[in-house]
Amino acid sequence: MTVLSQLEKLKWQLESNQKTIKKLDGEIVDIESFLAVADRTTGALEILSQSLFEEVLGVLESKLTIAIQEVLGQPIKFKSKPDFKRGAAAVSFSIDREGNEEDVLRGQGGSVQNVLSVGLRMFALATLNEDIHRRFLVLDEQDCWLRPELVPRLVNIVHRAAKELEFQVLMISHHDVGLFDRYADRVYRLTPTKSTVDAEIVSSLPNIADSE
């Protein structure tokens, strides 16, 4: 290889390297520009997420406060307190009774828990993807701490919420079946025997009975 051809080859390599360096310089500028706003963007997204989360909690507080007051007939409010740490959100719940904070797990002998448990389960189910999760909810003795005269109020709220959210709800209870016939679409009495369980339709709303 002659000296001239070697010079031509080196010249070509130099031009190629210069183009590569120019391209990398452009990419570095783009990366530096991204990094310059990345922290601000991340911070803005975190603030937005917290704001949306608090907004959802506000709606939840309002709905569950109405439910508790309707069922128990007392001037108490449901309260939630969000806490954001390391990119994760946590929530603590409490009851406000005329300015005094009460532990959800202690007051009212469990009746507050009955109502809140139903509301929180329905809220959680409503957020799931309907293409994957069927809107069917089983409430097993969610009225166990309620006085009998309060049970129809809970049934009424569950019935209204289920209609609005298009849920199918199955409530299981040891209370007298007569407490359910006013609001439940259908009421069954289950009687265990030695070998099986007998099911008897106690009541059925007209729109259910007529459809069969």
The per-residue pLDDT for 45 is: 52
E-state strands within the chain:
76-85, 88-97, 100-102, 136-140, 168-172, 186-192, 197-204
The per-residue pLDDT for 2 is: 67
The per-residue pLDDT for 138 is: 92
Distance spanning both ends of the chain, measured CA to CA: 97
Q: In 95-125, which positions are buried (b, 16+ CB within 10 angstroms) versus exposed (e)?
A: beeeeeeeebeeebeebbbbbbebbeebbeb
3-state secondary structure (DSSP) of residue 102:
strand
Long-range contacts of 42-48 (CB under 8 A, 24+ apart): 46/84, 46/87
The per-residue pLDDT for 108 is: 64
The Cβ of residue 38 has, within 10 Å, a number of other Cβ atoms equal to 11
The per-residue pLDDT for 187 is: 92
The per-residue pLDDT for 90 is: 78
Complete edge-to-edge strand list for the sheet that includes strand 100-102: 76-85, 88-97, 100-102
The per-residue pLDDT for 128 is: 85
Q: Which residues pair with 100 in a beta bridge?
A: 97
The token pair that represents 159 in the structure block:
């019935």
The per-residue pLDDT for 208 is: 44
What pLDDT tens digit does each residue of the chain (212 aa) get? 565 576 677 677 777 877 888 888 777 777 766 666 656 655 555 655 677 677 888 888 998 999 999 999 988 899 988 887 766 777 888 889 888 888 887 766 688 888 998 988 888 888 888 888 888 999 999 898 899 999 999 999 999 999 988 889 999 999 998 999 889 999 998 888 878 877 787 777 664 434 33
The per-residue pLDDT for 212 is: 38
The CA-based dihedral angle spanning residues 175, 96, 89, 38, taken in that order and rounded to the nearest 10 degrees:
140
The per-residue pLDDT for 211 is: 39
